[in-house]
């Protein structure tokens, strides 16, 4: 069984950067109500993103020529985990920082890189990802939105759904069908296009979720023109590009910190002499959090070395999602009327929100069934 989670070794010293980030968080985030911080990487704040951009904390690993800091993956990891643990509303730049900028640097033309990447690093240019469609979710290869060749570019027609923050982003990286569907494999003939969402023919409709928020949207394309230079990578290679992108977003600290604000609120307001059930629950959370961070850091150190630990990343996501989902629901069953001090009244709205929001933790970025399929495939079982 070839599964490797060697503990991370003598990494560069993160303590100075960690202290910088904490000082920033004390100033910008600590005063926010717990139920706002509980939104974590679903919480949107343009101002916070711009402030982070000004400090060089967006696109940290990118080359300085494109607005980055040429920092290590572990520097970025430190900034991200600190932001999430504190409940900073990082949604605005989140996707552009984690995926879109890196993708454009890897596959975009030099002109496109110069045009978009430095702006992303300032924390003022936001992206969404257009993958799922009304009849194409986990079965992504069945998508039907088409881009046809026209003079000087492409014309897109079709629709995307469950697109996070399409209504607030300036650009979408859309996976679309650019050639006639091959009967043998529907994975062929897909391409990635960068779409300016202010283009004529784009209609965006937010969808309210069960928490009452509207994070995701439906996006309609009616003969939307996209210039040639907006093609990422090679025409027809979209599937390979997308699967590599998804694999890299599976193991970060966002996979186990989505409920962390609740955990800290409990820790802060738990009365002295809690009952055994609450005491054990707090200890269990501490242990799970410690192990998941060790596993996630182990993957991060391998990514830093240029490896592609696909199996390990899928394992971190499945374990991490179940842990962060369990926090609010286990708390629901364990606390008593006397568990918390007066300050514990902040718990109730956070608990209610996270119970309602938690199902999405094991849906976004690949359902748990898809992840277990990936693990089985990597083990050679299928």
CB of 312 to other proteins, least distance (A): 7
Candidate segments 78-86, 157-165, 206-214, 340-348, binder of other proteins by CB under 8 A: 78-86
CB of 61 to other proteins, least distance (A): 20
Of 305 and 382, the one with the shorter C-beta distance to other proteins is 382
- Binding string, 283-302, against other proteins, x = CB under 8 A? xxxxxxxxxxxxx--x----
Span 302-321, contacts to other proteins by CB under 8 A: 312, 315, 318-319
Residue 194 — left, alpha, or beta (φ > 0 → left; ψ -120 to 50 → alpha)? beta
Candidate segments 14-22, 93-101, 121-129, 152-160, binder of other proteins by CB under 8 A: 14-22
Span 259-278, contacts to other proteins by CB under 8 A: 260, 263-264, 267-268, 270, 272, 274, 276
CB of 207 to other proteins, least distance (A): 30
Enumerate residues 6+ apart whose C-beta is below 8 A from 215.
Answer: 42, 91, 164, 165, 209
Residue 176 makes contact with other proteins by CB under 8 A: no
Beta strands in the chain (DSSP E): 127-130, 146-150, 153-164, 171-177, 190-196, 202-207, 216-227, 231-232
Answer for the pair 312, 3: CB distance below 8 angstroms, yes or no. yes
CB of 342 to other proteins, least distance (A): 15
347 closest CA partner among 254, 278, 275: 278
CB of 345 to other proteins, least distance (A): 18
Q: What's the token pair of residue 131? A: 């993958």
Span 199-238, contacts to other proteins by CB under 8 A: none
Enumerate residues 6+ apart whose C-beta is below 8 A from 276.
Answer: none
Q: What Å distances lie between residue 66 and 16, 53, 79, CA to CA? A: 25, 13, 19
Written in H, E and C, the secondary structure of 197-247 is CCCCCEEEEEECCCCCCCCEEEEEEEEEEEEHHHEECCCCEHHHHHHHHHH
* Collapsed DSSP state (helix, strand, coil) of residue 156: strand
Residue 6 makes contact with other proteins by CB under 8 A: yes
Of 214 and 379, the one with the shorter C-beta distance to other proteins is 379
97 closest CA partner among 127, 74, 69: 127
Span 86-115, contacts to other proteins by CB under 8 A: 86
CB of 200 to other proteins, least distance (A): 45
Of 64 and 341, the one with the shorter C-beta distance to other proteins is 341
- Binding string, 358-377, against other proteins, x = CB under 8 A? -----------x-xxx-xx-
The residue whose two tokens read 């650019």 is 178
Of 166 and 315, the one with the shorter C-beta distance to other proteins is 315
Q: What's the token pair of residue 146? A: 């088409």
Q: Which residues bind other proteins (CB under 8 A)?
A: 1, 3, 5-11, 13-15, 18, 81, 85-86, 260, 263-264, 267-268, 270, 272, 274, 276, 279-295, 298, 312, 315, 318-319, 369, 371-373, 375-376, 379, 381-382
């Amino acid at each position: 069984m070839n599964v490797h989670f060697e503990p991370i070794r003598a990494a560069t010293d993160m303590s100075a950067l960690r202290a910088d980030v904490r000082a920033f968080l004390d100033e910008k985030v600590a005063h926010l109500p717990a139920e706002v911080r509980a939104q974590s990487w679903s919480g949107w704040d343009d101002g916070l993103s711009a402030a982070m951009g000004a400090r060089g904390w967006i696109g940290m690993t990118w080359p300085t020529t494109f607005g980055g800091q040429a920092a290590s993956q572990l520097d970025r990891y430190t900034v991200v985990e600190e932001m999430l643990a504190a409940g900073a509303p990082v949604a605005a730049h989140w996707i552009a920082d984690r995926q879109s900028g890196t993708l454009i640097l890897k596959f975009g033309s030099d002109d496109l890189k110069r045009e978009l990447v430095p702006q992303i690093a300032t924390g003022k240019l936001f992206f969404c990802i257009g993958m799922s469609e009304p009849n194409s979710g986990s079965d992504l290869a069945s998508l039907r939105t088409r881009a046809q060749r026209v003079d000087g570019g492409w014309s897109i027609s079709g629709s995307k759904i469950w697109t996070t923050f399409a209504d607030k982003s300036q650009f979408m990286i859309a996976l679309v069908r650019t050639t006639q569907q091959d009967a043998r494999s529907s994975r062929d003939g897909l391409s990635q296009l960068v779409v300016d969402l202010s283009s004529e023919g784009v209609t965006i409709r937010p969808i309210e979720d069960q928490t009452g928020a509207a994070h995701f949207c439906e996006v309609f394309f009616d003969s939307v023109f996209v210039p040639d230079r907006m093609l990422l990578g090679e025409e027809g290679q979209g599937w390979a590009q997308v699967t590599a992108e998804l694999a890299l977003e599976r193991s970060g600290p966002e996979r186990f910190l989505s409920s962390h604000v609740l955990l800290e609120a409990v820790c802060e307001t738990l009365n002295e002499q809690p009952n055994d059930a609450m005491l054990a629950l707090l200890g269990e959370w501490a242990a799970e959090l410690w192990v998941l961070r060790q596993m996630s850091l182990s993957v991060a150190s391998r990514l830093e070395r240029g490896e592609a630990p696909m199996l390990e990343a899928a394992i971190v996501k499945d374990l991490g999602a179940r842990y962060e989902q369990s926090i609010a629901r286990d708390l629901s069953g364990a606390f008593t009327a006397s568990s918390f001090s007066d300050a514990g009244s902040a718990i109730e709205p956070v608990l209610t929100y996270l119970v309602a929001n938690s199902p999405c933790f094991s849906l976004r970025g690949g359902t748990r069934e898809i992840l277990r399929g990936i693990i089985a495939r990597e083990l050679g079982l299928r």
